[in-house]
Amino acid sequence: MHTNDDSIQQRSDGHMQWVLHLGTLLLLTTLIGCSSSISPPSASEPTTAQITTTIDSNNIDDLITRAERRSGTDGNPLRLRAAEIALDNSDLARAQLIIDSIILPVKDQTQLQILQARLSIGMRDASRALALLRDVVANDSQPSEATQLMLARLRSQAYLAGRSYLASARELIYVDHLINGRERAEHHERIFAALLNLSARRLKSHAEEAITSGLRGWLSLASLSREYENDPMRQLQALENWGRVWRHHPAASQLPKGLATLSQLVANQPRVIAVMLPLSGEHATTGRAVLDGILATHFAVNGPARINVVDTATGDIRQLVANAAREGAELIIGPLLREHVTTLAQMDNLPAPVLALNRTSDNSGRPDLYQFGLAPEDEMRQIAHRAWQEGHRNVVVISPASSWGERNTSTFTDQWLELGGNLVASSKFEDSQDYSGLIKNLLKVDQSEQRATELRRITGERFQFTPRRRQDLDFVLLLANPSQSRSINPTLAFFYAEDIPVYSSSHVYQYADSRINVLDLNGIRFCDIPWKLNVSDPVRDAIESQWESAKGPLTPFYALGVDVYRIYPRLQQMKEVANQRVAGTTGVLRLNQNNAIERTLMWARFRDGKVIPTSIVFGG
List, as one string, the DSSP characters of 336-378: -SHHHHHHHHTSS--SS-EEESS--TT---BTTEEE----HHH
Per-residue buried b or exposed e for 32-62, using 16+ beta carbons within 10 Å of the residue's own CB: bbbbbbbbbbeeeeebbbbeebebeeeebee
Q: Which residues of the chain have pLDDT under 70?
A: 1-56, 432, 446-469, 615-620
Domain segments of the chain as ranges: 27-264, 269-371, 377-534+607-614
pLDDT at 12: 36
Contacts of 47 (CB under 8 A, 6+ apart): 41, 84, 114, 115, 118, 150
- Tell me the per-residue pLDDT of 547-570, one tens digit each, with 9 for 90 and over: 999 999 999 999 999 999 999 999
pLDDT at 4: 41
pLDDT at 199: 87
Per-residue buried b or exposed e for 513-537, using 16+ beta carbons within 10 Å of the residue's own CB: eeeeebebbbebbbbbbbbbbebeb
State how far the Cα of 607 lies from the Cα of 567, in Å rounded to an integer. Answer: 34
Which residues pair with residue 276 across a beta bridge?
A: 310
pLDDT at 446: 61
Q: Which CATH number is associated with domain 377-534+607-614? A: 3.40.50.2300
How many other C-beta atoms can be found within 10 angstroms of the C-beta atom of residue 20?
8
pLDDT at 591: 93
**Domains 269-371 and 377-534+607-614 in one fold:** yes
Sign of CA dihedral 513, 516, 520, 526: positive
Helix H or strand E encompassing 544: helix 538-546
State how far the Cα of 497 lies from the Cα of 518, in Å rounded to an integer. Answer: 19
pLDDT at 528: 95
Q: Which CATH number is associated with domain 27-264? A: 1.25.40.650
Contacts of 222 (CB under 8 A, 6+ apart): 192, 195, 196, 198, 203
In whole angstroms, how large is the CA radius of gyration of the chain?
Answer: 28
- C-alpha closest to that of 397 among 423, 374, 362, 371: 423
**What is the DSSP secondary-structure string of 55-106?**
-----HHHHHHHHHHS-GGGGHHHHHHHHHHHHHTT-HHHHHHHHHTPPSS-
Residue 583 · residue 613 · CB < 8 Å: no
- C-alpha closest to that of 329 among 348, 310, 301, 313: 310
pLDDT at 443: 86
pLDDT at 454: 59
pLDDT at 435: 87
pLDDT at 402: 94
State how far the Cα of 270 lies from the Cα of 56, in Å rounded to an integer. Answer: 56
Q: Is the pTM of this model over 0.85?
A: no
Sign of CA dihedral 437, 406, 527, 385: positive
Range 269-371 has CATH code 3.40.50.300: no
pLDDT at 616: 60
State how far the Cα of 515 lies from the Cα of 600, in Å rounded to an integer. Answer: 27
State how far the Cα of 598 lies from the Cα of 616, in Å rounded to an integer. Answer: 15
pLDDT at 514: 74
Residue 228 · residue 234 · CB < 8 Å: yes
- Tell me the per-residue pLDDT of 243-277, one tens digit each, with 9 for 90 and over: 999 999 999 999 999 899 899 999 999 999 999 99
- Where do the DSSP E strands lie in 108-231? none
- Beta strands 597-600 and 588-591 are antiparallel
